[in-house]
Structure 1
Amino acid sequence: MKKLIIYIFSLGLLISSCEDIVDVSNPNNIEVRSFWQNEADAVSGVNAIYNMFYKPGTYSRWIWFRFDLASDEGFSSSPWIELAEWTRFIYNNYNFWEGNGWTYRDCYEAIFRANQVLYYVPGIEFQDQASKDQVLGQAYFLRALYYYNLAILWGSENNSLPIVLEPSKPGDTPEGHPVSDVWEQVENDLQNAIEMLPPQWDDNNLGRATKGAAYALRAKCLMQQHKWDEALQDLEWLVNGDGAQYYDLVPNYKDNFTHFNENNMESVFEIQYSDIHKAPAGDGDFDIDPNLGLNRGQFFAPPGIGWTDGEARPWIVEEFRKELNLDGGYDIRLKESLFYEQMAEDFPGNDKIYRFGMEVWNQDNYRNRVFIRKYGTDYYRDYDDYHSPVNVRLIRYADVLLMYAECIANLPSGNLDEAVAMVDRVRSRANMPKLEVNYPEATLTKEVFLKRLQMERSLELCFEGHRWADLRRWGLMENQEGVNELAQRDPDFNNFVVGRHDCLPIPSSEVNNNENLDQNPNY
């Protein structure tokens, strides 16, 4: 079972106090002056950082609107107009909470919690140094993860993002930094994490950050900066080095998206979710019984099941159906990723959408639409809600292999055959033919290979939160030619302004209240 969730569920709140105004202690709060005393406090402190995964502003809910729906893979036709507009590059209110402010705030709250651990734990006595290093290593990893998210979503070369490395205090006005400084900080944090984290944890601690997770996250950071050689070195540890013994692709693609085979060998870093709850889901930061479930399914499920605030662009179905597998059928990843009108014809027996049959495609609110199946719960129940127990595989080994291929192909000395072999390894798990069968030109030149890889990543990883970072890395939003290509798949990109919309606006409240921050370009 998900032991890490149990630790987090039982965790008391860690709230730092302001400077004392009156010498009165609130017996309901844990104060800094009475906390950070022993090893148990240190472990609780690092658990509090993991607890941020259950906040709606991060991976429980709203971050997926930024990573998945703003990309060319998805969109929103929500009746909540402002919510839908924020996936269409129509930003009228920079303080819009669900579309911008909440995720921004929660990233920095997670960083604050990590900073507490990194500030106080070095002064705590542990029974052994290895245990202390593991606590600190997790804090470095988690701080790096949230700075990575800030860089991907809000990063620009303006002095827009604060880099805060100690517990903040009310009234602080931290200096803004360009995204290049943020990347440097992420790299430094992950170097510490790599040195301190174990390659594996025991069964009681599954879900905690590992050395492999730190290597993979740093590779992502380096790739965003086009530091292909350095990224390849990090990925080498997972693909051909000491870490290769811990990772592989699972035989069944679907096993990456259910709660039946979690923390498997394909999982490099996995967020633990649970359907344990005592009350209706709430958005409060300090609920005594927090919701530990994944909320995403409730927002992305089809009409009559969820809110359907997010759905898929039809081009993904068309792309999947361009080729057949080695048995003459369609790619199994299509079945497991999407609900669409021809799903029962393409996959015999695939004729249920939660509790509905294929007749729903005759309804106006279904016809010609494609809905997101990945990370839904239709495989074991006929409804979705705010309490999904399905873990999010934030970094999968398939992603690592495709990143490895991309790095090789971007190096002048890279062996294209080796890059092709990595992609073929991922395709083989889905019973798809080698690239040379249907895309022979992609095996002959690096330029064609890299363009094909853009599609291979979507077929394997669609709606797993990678596409926005991919589009930024590939430079498709840096010029009008690239934006026009995206607009052919996603008409929302007709609203996209080059030099502006590749990053989000900093919430107005942050810029207005901190003279040391600049707004992002052209906002």
Structure 2
Amino acid sequence: MKKIVLITAMIGIFLSFSSCNEEELNLDNPNALTTDQFWVTPNDAELGLNSIYAMFYKDGLWSRWLYFRLDLTSDEGFSQSPWVELADWTRFNYINYNFWEGNAVTWRDSYKAIFRANQVLAYVPDIEFSDSNRKQQILAEAKFLRALHYYYAGLLWENIPMVLEPSTPSDLPQQVSQEEVFAQVEQDLNEAFADLPLQWDAQNTGRPTKGAAKAMLAKVYMQQRRWEEAKTALDFLVVGEGANYSLVDNYKDNFTDLNENNAESVFEIQFGDQRRGGTDEGPNAAVSSTRAQFFAPRGIGWSDGQARFWLVDAFKQESTVDGEIDPRLQHSLFYPSLFEDFGDKTYGRDWEWGEDEAWFRKGARDYKRDNEDYYSEVNWRMIRYADILLRYAEVLNELGMTADAYQYVDMVRARANMAPLAEAYPEIGNNADAFLDRLKIERVLELSGESVRWEDLKRWGDLESQETVDEIAQRDPDFNNFEVGKNIRLPIPQVEVENNPNLEQNPQY
């Protein structure tokens, strides 16, 4: 059973919230369940939990717009959309802070997901279960999901309201720092870890495991450069009790619907095309991804996002041990000489592009169709083991264990038939700075277009000085617009600032 999230319109509407005035708050809907009426049975708890998972399918989050913030705003991607304001929000030209598609919808859906998680965490403890273990698992899943959404909200906006209880439209939550946000993420993940299983049975594929909790912990520790704690979290996945992951033989299997939830998957979002509605709360609401539709080449999709061509050049800097082009390029990007380089003729009959244009291929369905739509069923591998191995190498290097870090980079390189790192680049030796410089490239080659680059740039400090930003601008001219100290975080939607006296706009906005 691939999909675990199928919610009804009633539950979706009940667990949603929107702004309203004082008079509206006092109106009772005779057809709506009250909190006391709903949170009664274990099935109610399951439905409440499902409503959190359903937020992955909303356009403000992992169905659509979050990729614009994580992939296109980074130096890997950009937009040439004729919708100028949409494109401006990938090149740091933030004028209308309330711009829906660029900012406000992701803010809304992030807090909508958090709101749903808070309800589960507040009301499920009072429900009587015959299976106490399942009750604890539900709470653990809700904590994991709340942590995940707070992590990305903290990554994007940094200084945000902290809401840990079921809220009402009249609440005025206090703003906290990114450090405090990440502290809550850490707490939720540690508590979730205790009650999540190492693995789920086939009927529950897609739920977070202990490994997923440790992987998210590693991410939040690394963003704070807390290397010792990050190592402890990653130890669990690489050399500890949770070391039950491995790299799949075929790199392409990480980006199609043909081998999903495989041995390399640490956590992935389960998408499907069985429902073809919108992203609302209706009974036919889609459970699909629209990323491929928006990132497809001209003539195939909307083409609102594409890849920087320097990525193609990066893949061609080093050949395999057999003197061939890095095979990961074939499955990472569309570009003009794709056919010439790999004899790949599975897609492209209707392409419209220039000689120096590239497009993200991961998640595209060219292996079985020649167009895209709003209903991609290809799961999104949010965290895969290759990322974990490269993170482990980075952490070991930061801790002065550079010699030990090589083997984990080599595991990733070996799948692509690349020579061991020390053989290919002997000049690195045990120089930690040189090793990190090379690791930055290794992460691009393995993970380009997988929504990790923005957090990488922030973690490495590459967005903190004009000198490093200028270096980025050489490969991505959009960074000529980047203001150090300002654009490292998004502006908070202005309507939120105006409506909440406890909320201040982010610095320099």
Q: Give the SS at the match of 2:138.
A: helix
Q: Would you say 1:82 and 2:76 are equivalent positions?
A: no
Distance in 2, Cα, partners of 1:23 & 1:255:
52
Structure 1 runs of 4+ off > 6 angstroms?
A: 17-23
Q: Would you say 1:129 and 2:132 are equivalent positions?
A: yes
One-letter code aligned to 2:207 = R
Question: Which stretches in structure 1 are left out of the alignment for 5+ residues?
Answer: none
Residue 228 (structure 1) aligns with = 227
Distance in 2, Cα, partners of 1:265 & 1:9:
32
Equivalent residues in 2 for 1:362-377, closer than 5 Å:
365-377=353-365
Q: In structure 2, do the counterparts of structure 1 residues 210 and 275 end up closer, same or farther at CA, with 3 Å as the change threshold? A: same
Give per-residue Cα distances to partners, 1:390-448, cap 9 Å, x unaligned.
00000001111111111100013x2x222111001001111111112322223431110
Q: Is the 8 A contact 1:441 1:449 kept in 2?
A: no
Residue 295 (structure 2) aligns with = 300
Q: Is the 8 A contact 2:347 2:367 kept in 1?
A: no
Q: Is the 8 A contact 1:73 1:462 kept in 2?
A: yes
Residue 161 (structure 1) aligns with = 160
Distance in 2, Cα, partners of 1:11 & 1:228:
45
Q: Would you say 1:470 and 2:474 are equivalent positions?
A: no
One-letter code aligned to 1:380 = K
One-letter code aligned to 2:62 = Y
TM-score by length of 1: 0.93
Q: Give the SS at the match of 1:393.
A: strand
One-letter code aligned to 2:293 = Q
Equivalences, count: 504
Note the C-alpha offset of 1:124. 0.8
Q: In structure 2, do the counterparts of structure 1 residues 30 and 54 end up closer, same or farther at CA, with 3 Å as the change threshold? A: farther
Residue 345 (structure 2) aligns with = 351
Find the partner of 2:489 among 500, 503, 512: 503
Note the C-alpha offset of 1:3. 3.6
Residue 395 (structure 2) aligns with = 407
Q: Is the 8 A contact 1:420 1:443 kept in 2?
A: no
Give per-residue Cα distances to partners, 1:189-221, cap 9 Å, x unaligned.
001111111111110110001110000001100
Q: Would you say 1:332 and 2:327 are equivalent positions?
A: yes
Q: Would you say 1:211 and 2:210 are equivalent positions?
A: yes
Q: Is the 8 A contact 1:269 1:394 kept in 2?
A: yes
Note the C-alpha offset of 1:11. 8.1
Note the C-alpha offset of 1:454. 0.8
Q: Is the 8 A contact 1:435 1:443 kept in 2?
A: no
Note the C-alpha offset of 1:332. 1.2
Note the C-alpha offset of 1:354. 4.5
Q: In structure 2, do the counterparts of structure 1 residues 441 and 30 end up closer, same or farther at CA, with 3 Å as the change threshold? A: farther
Note the C-alpha offset of 1:380. 1.1
Distance in 1, Cα, partners of 2:215 & 2:423:
30
Find the partner of 1:268 among 266, 269, 281: 266
TM-score by length of 2: 0.96
Q: In structure 2, do the counterparts of structure 1 residues 21 and 115 end up closer, same or farther at CA, with 3 Å as the change threshold? A: closer
Distance in 1, Cα, partners of 2:298 & 2:395:
41
Distance in 2, Cα, partners of 1:23 & 1:499:
45
Find the partner of 1:440 among 411, 415, 426: 426
Find the partner of 2:311 among 304, 312, 316: 316
Distance in 1, Cα, partners of 2:482 & 2:409:
31
Distance in 2, Cα, partners of 1:51 & 1:11:
13
Q: Give the SS at the match of 1:13.
A: helix
Q: Would you say 1:237 and 2:236 are equivalent positions?
A: yes
Q: Give the SS at the match of 2:294.
A: helix
What root-mean-square deviation, in Å, do the aligned CA atoms of Structure 1 and Structure 2 show? 1.7
Residue 394 (structure 1) aligns with = 382
Distance in 2, Cα, partners of 1:273 & 1:103:
19
Q: Give the SS at the match of 1:469.
A: helix
Residue 72 (structure 1) aligns with = 75
Q: Is the 8 A contact 2:11 2:48 kept in 1?
A: no
One-letter code aligned to 2:30 = N
Question: Which stretches in structure 2 are left out of the alignment for 5+ residues?
Answer: none
Distance in 1, Cα, partners of 2:298 & 2:410:
36
Q: Percent identity?
A: 53
